[in-house]
């Protein structure tokens, strides 16, 4: 087979994306499909460069491992970096492709699951060896390029052993195995200088309550998070841990259902100091929330750690993980983020995949350029709305009565039910005040077209 003889000669040298040399900012009047129209990394918005606002990251799994396979058929996407039969060489080829892509895109971060980097071995020892080999290679590439790890994680959902859960499994030996895997993943993440570490519990939930001790499983989960935190801290990890909420899929019910559920859990088990949230747009949709809702819930608790940027499909009820392009949705979210202190530790990771029939290698560029431009545009527009429009004034005026004496007393806890009663008997029927939702919505629509 030709690739077996060619591969060693090409280590680190093959160019996987020769059609693109580099993607840079050309402004909104450019028609170059390989240029940013809005994402100008150095441009300062609200006191911070766009680059620092977002810390855009590529998701290793979707962009360099996913061939487009779905339950109905194998993957049609040619992935030239996945051809070598030797797992370590294949992992290196994949990493070459990833770093070539990120360098050309000007992306400064990536996110990975342990076994995105290299295939899982036949046992823990082989896996450990493989992970260490590829981590050495990654470290070298990171040092040469300046690219960093936004977060690492362990894949605790693909292998059949996790069919009944990982940390929340009813069988202790599986919980222990998950522990061994997470220990490795933490070691690798720390070695690669990962800024954060993620837990997404795709199988931490149940398929049927009939066979499930929900209370115990949640306690197991909390115990597991606590152990992982303690281990990582002992090893010198300074970053945040993020829990990524999702209500279902693949489990029927996932314990990390949505932002509010996870916050309650973290508070109950005293983990809020070290654990924040990684919010995914499409997961919000599945939980029947808007993305803005999830962001607001997190921000209100100082727990907006990071974002998995993507979007769902208006007709499909599953995690389609499309690249983001919904401007109304993103502006609303960016308005909330701009009014907060921004991400606690994290950034914007494109947990998004090309459609199965997007099979040209250059499609990966279009997808990320579109996503980054959508966020950049949303940031510009959100900032402009907050600074130049009546938005904040309108919103504050709705609450004006709480600035007045009685409202203030109420907020301070100085009134009793009897006081509310006396007040209302004297005032009579309150005047109707419009919520003006359409006017607020128009503001976003309007500013989307006058932002440059």
Q: Select from Ni ion, ligand XLS, none the partner in contact with residue 153, using the beta carbon and a kind-dependent cut-off of 5 to 8 Å.
A: ligand XLS
341 is annotated as an active-site residue: no
CA neighbor of 111 nearest in space, from 51, 19, 237, 200 = 200
Cis (ω within 30 of 0) for the bond into 250? yes
- In angstroms, the CA 376 to CA 372 distance is 6
Residue 242 burial by Cβ neighbours in a 10 Å radius (0-12, 13-18, 19+): buried
Residue the block writes with tokens 């907020």? 411
Catalytic residue among 40, 96, 114, 116: 116
Q: Which is nearer to Ni ion, 37 or 289 (CB)?
A: 289
130 binds ligand XLS (CB under 6 A): no
With CB under 6 A as the contact rule, the residue among 332, 351, 373, 383 that binds ligand XLS is 351
280 binds ligand XLS (CB under 6 A): yes
153 binds ligand XLS (CB under 6 A): yes
Residue the block writes with tokens 């009579």? 428
Smallest distance, ligand XLS to C-beta of residue 244, A: 5
With CB under 5 A as the contact rule, the residue among 187, 195, 204, 351 that binds Ni ion is 351
Q: At residue 262, what are phi and psi to the nearest 5 degrees? A: -65, -40
Which element (helix H / strand E) includes 291?
helix 291-300
- In angstroms, the CA 381 to CA 383 distance is 5
244 binds ligand XLS (CB under 6 A): yes
Taking each helix axis from N to C end, the angle separating 87-105 and 2-10, rounded to the nearest 10 degrees, works out to 50
Task: Retrieve residue 156's tokens.
Answer: 């605790």
Q: Select from Ni ion, ligand XLS, none the partner in contact with residue 444, using the beta carbon and a kind-dependent cut-off of 5 to 8 Å.
A: none
Q: Which residues contact 272 (CB under 8 A, 6 or more apart)?
A: 263, 266, 301, 303
Residue number closest to ligand XLS, CB atom: 200
99 binds ligand XLS (CB under 6 A): no
- In angstroms, the CA 154 to CA 117 distance is 11
373 binds Ni ion (CB under 5 A): no
Q: Which is nearer to Ni ion, 204 or 280 (CB)?
A: 280
300 is annotated as an active-site residue: no
Task: Retrieve residue 109's tokens.
Answer: 């971060």
Smallest distance, ligand XLS to C-beta of residue 205, A: 13
319 binds ligand XLS (CB under 6 A): yes
Smallest distance, ligand XLS to C-beta of residue 269, A: 21
Q: Which is nearer to ligand XLS, 112 or 137 (CB)?
A: 112
308 binds Ni ion (CB under 5 A): yes
CB burial string 334-348: b at 16+ within 10 A, e below: bbbbbeeebbbbbbb
200 binds ligand XLS (CB under 6 A): yes
DSSP single-letter state for residue 65: I
Cβ pair 349, 311 in contact under 8 A: no
311 binds ligand XLS (CB under 6 A): no
256 binds Ni ion (CB under 5 A): no
With CB under 5 A as the contact rule, the residue among 96, 116, 274, 319 that binds Ni ion is 319
Q: How many residues bind ligand XLS (CB under 6 A)?
A: 10
* Interface residues toward Ni ion, by CB under 5 A: 280, 308, 319, 351
Residues acting as catalytic residues: 113, 116
* Interface residues toward ligand XLS, by CB under 6 A: 113, 153, 198, 200, 244, 246, 280, 308, 319, 351
């Amino acid at each position: 087979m030709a690739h077996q003889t060619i591969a060693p000669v090409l280590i680190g040298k093959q160019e996987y994306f020769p059609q693109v040399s580099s993607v840079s900012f050309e402004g909104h009047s450019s028609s170059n499909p390989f240029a940013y129209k809005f994402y100008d990394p150095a441009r300062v918005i609200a006191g911070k460069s766009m680059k620092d606002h977002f810390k855009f990251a590529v998701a290793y799994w979707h962009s360099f491992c996913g061939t487009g396979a779905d339950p109905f058929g194998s993957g049609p996407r040619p992935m030239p970096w996945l051809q070598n039969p030797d797992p370590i060489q294949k992992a290196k080829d994949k990493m070459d492709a990833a770093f070539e892509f990120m360098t050309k895109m000007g992306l400064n971060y990536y996110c990975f699951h342990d076994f995105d980097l290299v295939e899982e071995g036949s046992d823990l020892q082989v896996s450990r060896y493989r992970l260490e080999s590829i981590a050495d290679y990654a470290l070298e590439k990171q040092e040469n390029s300046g690219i960093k790890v936004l977060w690492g994680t362990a894949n605790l959902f693909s292998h059949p052993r996790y069919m009944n859960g990982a940390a929340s499994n009813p069988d202790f030996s599986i919980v222990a195995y998950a522990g061994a895997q997470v220990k490795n993943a933490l070691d690798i993440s720390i070695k690669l200088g990962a800024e954060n570490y993620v837990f997404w519990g795709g199988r931490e939930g149940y398929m049927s309550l009939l066979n499930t001790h929900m209370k115990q499983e949640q306690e197991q989960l909390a115990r597991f998070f606590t152990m992982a935190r303690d281990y990582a801290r002992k090893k010198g990890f300074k970053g945040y841990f993020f829990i990524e909420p999702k209500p279902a899929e693949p489990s029927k019910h996932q314990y990390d259902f949505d932002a509010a559920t996870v916050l309650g859990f973290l508070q109950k088990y005293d983990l809020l100091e070290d654990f924040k949230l990684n919010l995914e747009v499409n997961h919000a949709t599945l939980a029947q929330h808007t993305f803005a809702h999830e962001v607001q819930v997190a921000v209100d608790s100082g727990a907006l750690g990071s974002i998995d940027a993507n979007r769902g499909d208006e007709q499909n009820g599953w995690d389609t993980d499309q690249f983001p392009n919904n401007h109304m949705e993103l502006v609303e979210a960016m308005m909330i983020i701009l009014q907060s202190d921004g991400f606690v530790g994290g950034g914007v990771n494109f947990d998004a995949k090309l459609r199965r029939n997007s099979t040209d290698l250059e499609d990966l560029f279009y997808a990320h350029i579109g996503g980054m431009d959508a966020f950049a545009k949303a940031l510009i527009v959100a900032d402009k709305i907050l600074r130049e429009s009546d938005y904040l004034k309108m919103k504050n005026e709705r609450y004006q009565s709480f600035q007045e004496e009685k409202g203030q007393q109420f907020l301070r806890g100085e009134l009793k039910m009897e006081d509310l009663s006396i007040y209302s008997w004297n005032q009579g029927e309150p005047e109707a005040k419009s919520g003006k939702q359409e006017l607020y919505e128009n503001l976003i629509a309007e500013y989307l077209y006058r932002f440059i």
